[in-house]
Structure 1
Amino acid sequence: MSAVDEVLAKARAGLSRVAANDVARLPDDHLLVDIRPLHDRVTDGEIPGAVPIERIVLEWRLDPAGDHRIDGFTEDTTVVVVCNEGYASSLAARDLRALGLPKATDLVDGFHGYREAGLPVREGGTPAIT
């Protein structure tokens, strides 16, 4: 097992990852966060309701006690992070848990798995929160 595979396995050990077909069953107060780059969102589309936040500022925008956090969530909110294939999102969810978001998790197989499941996708290009 490579070092990155080991780090990923440890990150996922603490997560209750969300399958694509379970996105519609998330609690009403959930926050779906898309960390994919703009060019991926433009090319592939976006999950309706997802909030695009650049990965480089994710922790600052979702720190429940931070001065630069976005509105609309608390430390009790289920936060589901989405990347392209479900790898970077697992590491991001781990980091959000360390910040005080115990319900942070990610989407299994990422956006590509969601789209391949035939679930709704909207045209992409929403500017990310930076």
Structure 2
Amino acid sequence: RDLNALGGLAKLMPFTAIFTLIAALSIAGTPPFNGFMSKWMIYQSTFLSGNGLLVFFGVMALFISAATLASFIKFYTTAFGGEPTKLTQNVKEVSSSMLIAKGFLASLCLLLGLIPALILPLLLSPGKALANVDLSGLITT
């Protein structure tokens, strides 16, 4: 329950540390992960809208993304950085089935960030169905 009591988990759980770093960077919206591509679409749709209110919301989204990155850097460095503490000194890496699951999800974060065209049609289809407008030509990746 106390993040500050943890530490040094990267040395004890190296695969979990890598997969957690990928997840944190993806959630924060950093390139080349999928979170960046989704946030990039939000930025494009707001900044290029020509509507002052939407541009303001885009600026706020950018600010919130920066705050999210800061919070995940704090989380990661506190839990995984430094030396193992008394609480974490006997921790071992999780089972291989858990590592495979985390590795699969981390791979998807990277793959969908590098090749967003794999998922983009699926993301645009609700808007096309509801508004009867094809936006696929407007989104640049």
TM-score by length of 2: 0.22
TM-score by length of 1: 0.23
- Structure ranking higher in helix proportion: 2
